[in-house]
Every structure is written in C-alpha cells, then in structure tokens.
Amino acid sequence: MADTVDLEGEQYQKHREAGEILAQVREETADRVEVGVTHLEIAEYAEDRIRELGGTPAFPVNISIDEEAAHATPAIDDEETFGEEMINLDIGVHIDGWLADTAITVDLSGHDDLAEAPEAALEAAIDLVEPGVETGEIGRAIEEAIDGYGYNPVVNLTGHGLGHWEQHTSPNIPNRAVDQGTTLEVGDVVALEPFATDGGGKVNEGSSEEIFSLQDDRSVRDRGAREALEQIKEEFRTLPFATRWLETARPEMALRRLKSRGVIHGYPVLKEDEGRLVSQKEHTVIVTEDGCEVTTASR
C-alpha cells in the first residue's frame, strides 16, 4: 500500500470496530474458563456475544488444549470439559468482511512462565512495528523474547495479514528470525501471533477436523450437501466455519460429500510434534505513519 492510504477510511473503521468488539469478548470469555466448564459452553458464549455486540464471528472459536496449537473447536453436542490444562482461546470478528483476530492463553496447569512467554514476545513485536520494518526483524524479536524464558517459538506457525473476507493473507509474520522477509507499509493490517512451547518448536496435523472453508463452488446432487453449500456461500463466504454452525439435518454427512467433491477443505487440529505444551498470544495491528495501532487492545 502507498503511504497516502486513508487510515480514517471506512475499511479501517470497520477493522477498528471489529477489534473493539473482540477485545471485550476475549476478556469476558477468558474470565469464564475454569475447571469443569464445557468447551462448547465457552465457544458458544463467545460467538453469541460477538453477535450481541454487533459483529460476526470471523471463524469458529479455537479452543486448544495442552499440545494443541490451532484449529480445535467443539463438535456438535460436545461435552468435553476443562481440566487443569493450558488453554488457548483464538477468536475472530468481522464487520462486513473486515477482520480482527486475537488469542490469549488461560493457564490452569501451573506453567506461568510458559504462558507469559508469548505475551512478552507479542509486546516486543508490537514495539517494532512501523513502516519500513522487515517481518524477519519482528520474527527475531519474537524468538529472542521466547528464548529468554527458556522456551522455543513454534516456527512453522506465523502471524499473518488480514484481508477483506480473508483470514490469512500476506504478509506472513514469522515467529523466528529469517533473513528475507516482507517490508511493512502504512495501512497493512496484520495479526501478530507468537506461539511458545516447551517442546521442539514444530506442529503437525492431527486427524480431527471440525473447521472447514469453501474451496471451489461446484454443483452437488445431494440435497443436504446443496443446503449446506448455500448456507456456506451466503453466510460464511470464504471464511472458516464449524460443523456445528450448519443448519442442515445431517451436517457431518453433508460435509463429507462436499469435501469428497473438492468443494470445501478442512483444517486438521495442529499439535506440537513432541506432545509438549503450547501457549499463544495474539493482537491485530494497523501499521500507521509512526508505528502501529493495536485494534484488539483491552479498553
């Protein structure tokens, strides 16, 4: 983007509105996480609260436990409850397709330092953000902050840009030092997303999938699949959605049919390669003339 971009324009105001809603929902939701509460109760609380405040969930609330890093969300009628675990909440809001994205670790496992590491890394990253900085420099600050706590960053997960109806777009923001990165410009909207672990620092895909998104709009014969596809196109567009959001009678079957046709793709739960704990902290920022504006900061 050029430096003449209008940061008071409608799209940026909608990014800000999404961020303000999200900051409130993040804090309210985190306060409700405790041993014995169900994952589904927390996810539905956050998603309903977003709608009450005038936003729309940008993706299903991610509730990642212990070694899980991303893409975990409750299934239909899920009865799983929280224990003495490390819990990451990743929540998104959009206003007319303009997004904000945030995450927080709620630690019930007693690993305070690991929970604090990505928060310190996020603060270091935010301090660096301004026009002309390279994303590799931000990655170096993240890596050094997490290393200072004696942990490793998750190197195959990154922060990312936020586009219109696009949850992940350029530029990627690495969580480690890289030699070649992207130069930030005024008007860039990016989610800074450090992950820390007491493991080796890589995640792999598990077998479970509850989150999907539209990949290719093709015709399908099955009635349930057609109904699901119409809802996906009208309500979610290209943004991720959960099985439990679908209104068709047999959503799991409809999704299997759509996936087999290449209409949708799934997001397997990502887990730390060695089965170790993962913590996370995330804010969305707008790059301004002299630094950045954190849209998801607590008010």
Q: What is the DSSP letter of 266?
A: E
Query: Reading across the β-sheet that carries 283-288, which strands appear in turn?
Result: 166-173, 159-163, 189-192, 283-288, 291-294
Catalytic residue flag (residue 160): yes
Average confidence (pLDDT) over 264-270: 98
Q: Which domain holds residue 93?
A: 10-205+273-294
Say whether both 123 and 201 belong to one domain.
yes
Same domain, 121 and 217: no
Is the residue at 220 inside a domain?
Answer: yes
Is residue 39 among the annotated active site residues?
no
Task: Indicate whether 285 belongs to any domain.
Answer: yes
> What mean pLDDT comes out for the span 91-104?
98
Q: Is residue 1 over pLDDT 70?
A: no
Total count of domains within the chain: 2
Which helix (H) or strand (E) segment holds residue 255: the answer is helix 251-260
Calpha distance 90→80 (Å, rounded): 18
Instruction: Report pLDDT for 214.
Output: 98
101 annotated to bind ligand: yes
71 among annotated binding-site residues: yes
Q: Which residue is it, tokens 């009628």?
A: 77
Catalytic residue among 47, 160, 198, 283: 160
Q: At residue 3, does pLDDT exceed 80?
A: no
Encode burial over 109-131: b for 16+ CB neighbours within 10 A, e otherwise: bebeebbbbbbbbbebbbebbeb
Maximum Cα–Cα distance for the chain, whole Å?
A: 56
Domain identity same for 232 and 85 = no
210 among annotated binding-site residues? no
What's the CATH code of the domain at 221? 1.10.10.10
Residue 15 catalytic?
Answer: no
Q: Is 209 a catalytic residue?
A: no
Question: Does 74 share its domain with 142?
Answer: yes
Q: Are residues 279 and 254 in the same domain?
A: no
Segment 37-53 shows an average pLDDT of 98
168 marked among binding-site residues: yes
Rounded to an integer, what distance in angstroms lies between the CA atom of residue 54 and that of residue 56? 7
pLDDT in tens, 98-113: 999 999 999 999 999 9
Q: What is the CATH number of the domain that holds 183?
A: 3.90.230.10
Are 279 and 65 within 8 A, CB to CB? no
Q: Is 168 a catalytic residue?
A: yes
- Alpha-carbon distance of 247 to 190, in angstroms, equals 32
> Is 160 marked within a binding site?
yes
Query: Is 1 contained in some domain?
Result: no
pLDDT > 70: what percent of the chain? 99
Average pLDDT over residues 252-277: 97
Average pLDDT over residues 258-271: 97
Q: Name the token pair of 266.
A: 């799934």
Residue 225 and residue 258 in contact, taking contact as beta carbons nearer than 8 Å: yes
Q: Say how far apart CA 45 and CA 63 lie, in whole Å.
A: 13
Tell me: do 47 and 86 sit in the same domain.
yes
The per-residue pLDDT for 299 is 82
Question: Three-class SS of residue 159?
Answer: strand
The yes-or-no answer on residue 101 being catalytic is: yes
Band of pLDDT at residue 2, cut at 50, 70 and 90: very low
Q: Which of 105, 1, 5, 27 is nearest to 297 (CA)?
A: 27
Question: pTM for this one?
Answer: 0.96
The answer to whether residue 186 scores a pLDDT higher than 90 is yes
Mean of all residue pLDDT scores within the chain: 97
Q: Is the pLDDT of residue 236 over 90?
A: yes
Mean pLDDT to the nearest integer, 139-144: 98
